[in-house]
Amino acid sequence: MSRVKTLQALFKRYRRPGDVVFAWVFLLISLALLSQIIDQTAYRAGGKLFAQPRFWPAVSLGGMCFFAALHLLSSLMSERIQGRWREAALWVASIEYALWFILYAFAVPYLGYLPATISFAILLILRAGYRSRAIIIGTLVSAICIVLLFKTFLQVKLPGGQLFEALPGGLRQFMLTYF
């Protein structure tokens, strides 16, 4: 009995709520990926083991499964912490901001970098709960500065917006090049 207890003590560790959820998900994904190794990698007959294209995926996925199993074991051995599902719900809630980001990336080639950045910044700042005029003006100025710095001065490779195509001749070219 005492031996089992000391073994538990070795695997126990301090952690945060939701640790066991992550440990399960990570282990299941690792196992799912490992189960695909024959299908998703090739083996060259006659080649040396270490030079096989399958070698490193096998090592890494094997390692992932091994460590993930131990990580899960240590999670299970430790005291349960309340609030794991509340924590997992927060992870899911963060996907909203990931979608905002993807939407912004999707909009830039259509609206153009400057209009897309200004609208995205203002909408997101409102979504974040700010209503004060100072913060909104600050956001507007910051968004314009970011566009000026990266697109106008540093000429970072970003596509010109399709919306700008509707502008008259000279202005169109100017906007496509600098904003």
Q: How far is the CB of 173 from other proteins (least distance, A)?
A: 20
Spatial separation of the C-alpha atoms in residues 137 and 121, rounded to whole Å? 11
Class of residue 85 by CB neighbours under 10 A (exposed 0-12, middle 13-18, buried 19+): exposed
Q: Smaller CB distance to other proteins: residue 119 or 170? A: 119
Q: Smaller CB distance to other proteins: residue 36 or 173? A: 36
Q: Smaller CB distance to other proteins: residue 123 or 171? A: 123
Q: Smaller CB distance to other proteins: residue 95 or 170? A: 95
Q: How far is the CB of 128 from other proteins (least distance, A)?
A: 4
Q: How far is the CB of 65 from other proteins (least distance, A)?
A: 8
Q: How far is the CB of 170 from other proteins (least distance, A)?
A: 25
Q: How far is the CB of 155 from other proteins (least distance, A)?
A: 8
Q: Smaller CB distance to other proteins: residue 46 or 170? A: 46
